[in-house]
Structure 1
Amino acid sequence: MSGKVRMRSLDHVVLCVTDVAATIAFYRRVLGMEARQERPGKWSLHFGSNKISLQDAGTSPSIAAVTVPGSGNFCLLTDMPIGEFVAHLEREGVMILEGPAQRHGAVGPILSVYFNDPDGNLVEVSNQL
């Protein structure tokens, strides 16, 4: 191989979860994601051109044996004004851990709010500033 190794983009993220159905319900209700069954028993969440694969902790493949529920920490971008999103979280009974607060995103400043999903994964939702 010649030249410098360069990654082009992120294809998907995998979350290890205790209860796939509860995770799907939460991400549909709170974040408007679409659930898809890729094959029997294998689910993923879709939004825009992005995908979060769900790994059932009870049936994790050996390659992911040390992955545990609640170890995820990721940031999603939304076009909904963060104040409106905070109000949405409050209506849905989701406890906000922190924010809104300004942070540094991949391409510049973002305004973020943090909360946990049912497994305790840290979810950050942000507006690009």
Structure 2
Amino acid sequence: MIQIKALDHLVLTTRDFDRCIWFYRDVLGLELVCREGHYALRFGVQKINIHRRPAEFLPAAKNITAGSLDFCLLTDTDLLEVKQQLDEYGVEIEEGVVERNGALGKMQSLYVRDPDGNLVEISKYQKQ
């Protein structure tokens, strides 16, 4: 049986590269890297590859649409502090802080949308 151990990266297609980079690098603090003309946002041992047009690199997903992602990012920062920082950047909170169940148990989450409309859940696990 195949044993998957972690998520390495996902691909986000953006309509507005500059706004996308502002949100993920400047607001959320991810590291922007560029290798051979390919852009990515790195955090921990994962990354988000940024494509500036559908199917920029092949093979690609079959139905590529900017704003169709819904994913969760983990933080060690208190979510009230995260909320305050998002407010300072003018990022609207979609929902939260609310309790959710993550892959490893109970967590607190808040939800925002990036400039393309992707739903970004920012979560912190509760101490067990």
Instruction: Please report the TM-score for the alignment, with normalisation by the length of structure 1.
Output: 0.90
More helix by share: 1
SS at match of 1:94: coil
* Structure 1 counterpart of 2:44, from 48, 51, 75: 48
* Aligned twin of 2:116: 119
Question: What is the aligned residue count?
Answer: 125
Q: CA deviation at 1:57?
A: 2.0
**Structure 1, gaps ≥5 residues long:** none
Query: What percent identity do the matched residue pairs reach?
Result: 40
| Greater Rg by CA | 1
* Aligned twin of 1:57: 53
**Structure 2, gaps ≥5 residues long:** none
* Structure 2 counterpart of 1:18, from 15, 19, 36: 15
Q: CA deviation at 1:28?
A: 1.2
Q: CA deviation at 1:65?
A: 5.2
- Residue 36 of structure 2 aligns with an amino acid whose one-letter code is R
After TM superposition, the structure 1 = structure 2 runs for residues 62-81 of structure 1, keeping only pairs within 5 Å, are: 63-64=60-61, 66-81=63-78
Q: CA deviation at 1:39?
A: 1.4
For residues 116 and 101 of structure 1, what CA distance do their matches in structure 2 show?
16
The Cα RMSD (Å) is: 1.4
For residues 75 and 27 of structure 1, what CA distance do their matches in structure 2 show?
13
- Residue 17 of structure 1 aligns with an amino acid whose one-letter code is T
